[in-house]
Structures are given as structure tokens and as C-alpha cells.
Amino acid sequence: MIYSIGQLSQATQCKIPTIRYYEEIGILDKASRSAGNQRQYTQMHCDRLHLICHSRALGFSLKEIKQLIKLQNGQFDGAHQSHQIVLSHLTDVRKKITQLEKLESQLLTLVEQCQQSQTPDCLCVSALK
């Protein structure tokens, strides 16, 4: 199947400017062009774009995705290196979760103090000074 950029966008739920950007930075292979100079995408483009979009949804950076694509294409020792990239990303996500839990705790403390206050002024703003 051949996709226009609009059809590819619809099939992958990826915006057209984003598709163009991914082509520009080399994370998505450039499409061939029709006689009318319109982009023509293949199923391979669609599959790759699904992989990119899913990876972005999981929080992978474009640099990490580029590395994973190179590994998928057999340019390096794929299985071990891709595992390391995912493991490193998981470690980063866990750190962020820990940071967010600390932030949540601090914010809950502020809210509770403000709710218990008998003063007309908001203690939340005072505590942030």
C-alpha cells in the first residue's frame, strides 16, 4: 500500500509536521516522490512511524529511538545494546517517579497546612518564599 502524508498521519495518529521533522532528522526514511512531487510512503514507513510514536509515548528521547532503529537494522550488536538502552531508560523513569513522589508529599503538606490555617492569607504562597 502507498500512503500520502495525510493518510500516513491518519494511520499513525502522528501530525504531518512531525512526520516531516522525523524525515528531516533521519529517524524516518525519506519518502519517494510521485510525478507530481508528492510524498509516497510505504508500509515500512508506517511500521517505522508506529515504532517511533510508541517509543515517544514511552518517553524515549529521539536520540534513544535513533539508536534503537540502528540496532533494529542490524548495524550493531542489537539485542544486548537495545536491552541496555531500555534498562537505562527504565532507571531514569524510576528516578523521576521517586522525585515526583517527594514533590507530591511536599505539596500535600502545603495543602494540609493551608487547610488547617485560621488566617485569611494563603500559607501555600507564604511557604514558597
Model confidence pLDDT, tens digit, residues 46-68: 999 999 999 999 999 999 999 88
What pLDDT score does 83 carry?
85
What CATH number should be reported for the domain holding residue 72?
1.10.1660.10
Domain that holds residue 94: 5-127
User: What pTM, to 2 d.p., does this model score?
Assistant: 0.76
Looking at the structure of the chain, the number of domains it has is 1
Q: Write out residues in the chain with pLDDT < 50, as ranges.
A: none
Q: Alpha-carbon distance 67 to 73, whole Å?
A: 10
